[in-house]
Amino acid sequence: MGARKDKKMEAVKVTCLKKAFPGPLGPEEMEDVLKGVSFTLKEGSFTALTGSSGSGKTTLLHLLAGFLTADSGTICLLGRQLQGMSPKEAAIFRRRHVSMVFQEAALIPSLTVEENIVLPLVMDTGRLLDQDRLVRILDALALSGKLGRYPAELSGGERQRCVFARALFSDAELILADEPAARLDTRQSLELMGALKECAHTWHRTVLMATHNLDLAQICDRELEIRDGVIHFL
Ligand SMILES: Nc1ncnc2c1ncn2[C@@H]1O[C@H](COP(=O)(O)OP(=O)(O)OP(=O)(O)O)[C@@H](O)[C@H]1O
Ligand SMILES: [Mg+2]
């Protein structure tokens, strides 16, 4: 399961990242959202990204995931500088190493839970299904009895856990999650947080999770708050 206890490295190193968007009057008046964001995330850590609505949480996750390009600053993921890569190289690197989980659990409705979890990795790498790895992930996320179910037959919490199971089953060392618990009730949110924290620690996955919910942020190993375009370490 890719456990590398011997090497505690920085999974993410962001330096002086800036991003502005066109304001209401258009590109002549740009609005600075990120004004020089710098932080590091240790491998195997579970970090909450908080901040008021519009503070730039999604923007930051999208920069890390490669959906957006920064105006300036650097992003180093798993020891690799993204700026030095060609767009194709960066896309392949991210597909293999970074997984993004959205608020809306994105599952393919016509595939079972098992197929949703294993197909992306099996199709991408041609690797045979690692049953043992699958069983351990399903256990950790309390999905063992749901393998043959379709997404429509799951609760919201189970669907969201299934998306994380897919991210964990892939080789992605870095998991970016944007408000993954927003549609879950308190009990489901707490269960998801507990499972994510354990998975991060056990399998050395680095999780950065944007959330409005300060109770959930407390469960994480660490909290970063975006305020006035920069990171505050709480
Ligand atoms: N494509 C875009 N074009 C123009 N402005 C944008 C764009 N994307 C985001 N913004 C602006 O950037 C700011 C930060 O948005 P972002 O979505 O990152 O906030 P957030 O912290 O995720 O908020 P929320 O908690 O509501 O999800 C907002 O003011 C938003 O209007
Ligand atoms: Mg957001």
**DSSP state at residue 229:** T
- 4 within some domain: no
- The pick from 57, 183, 226 for probing ligand 1's pocket by mutation, whose C-beta has the most ligand atoms within 8 angstroms, reads 57
For ligand 1, say whether the CB of 51 is within 6 Å of any of its atoms: yes
Per-residue pLDDT, averaged over 19-35, amounts to: 94
| Token pair in block for residue 148 | 């043959």
- 136 within some domain: yes
Tell whether the model's pLDDT for residue 1 goes beyond 60: no
For ligand 1, say whether the CB of 33 is within 6 Å of any of its atoms: yes
Q: What is the CATH number of the domain that holds 67?
A: 3.40.50.300
Q: What pLDDT, on the 0 to 100 scale, is given for residue 82?
A: 87
- 213 within some domain: yes
pLDDT in tens, 30-64: 999 999 999 999 999 999 999 999 999 999 999 99
How sure is the predictor about 3, in pLDDT bands with cuts at 50, 70 and 90?
very low
Residue whose entry in the numeric block shows the structure tokens 């690799």: 80
- Give the count of beta carbons closer than 10 Å to the beta carbon of residue 139: 11
The range of the structural domain enclosing residue 160 comes to 10-233
CA angle 125-58-150, nearest 5°?
50
- 221 within some domain: yes
- 212 within some domain: yes
Q: Ligand 1 centroid to 56 CA: how many Å? A: 6
User: What's the number of domains the chain is made of?
Assistant: 1
- Give the count of beta carbons closer than 10 Å to the beta carbon of residue 185: 12
Q: What pLDDT, on the 0 to 100 scale, is given for residue 4?
A: 47
Q: What pLDDT, on the 0 to 100 scale, is given for residue 183?
A: 81
pLDDT in tens, 163-213: 999 999 988 999 999 999 888 889 889 988 998 898 899 989 999 999 999
- 2 within some domain: no
Tell whether the model's pLDDT for residue 161 goes beyond 60: yes
pLDDT in tens, 209-226: 999 999 999 999 999 999
- 5 within some domain: no
> Under a CB-based contact definition with an 8 Å cutoff, are residues 180 and 209 in contact?
yes
pTM for the structure as a whole: 0.91
For ligand 1, say whether the CB of 59 is within 6 Å of any of its atoms: yes
- 92 within some domain: yes
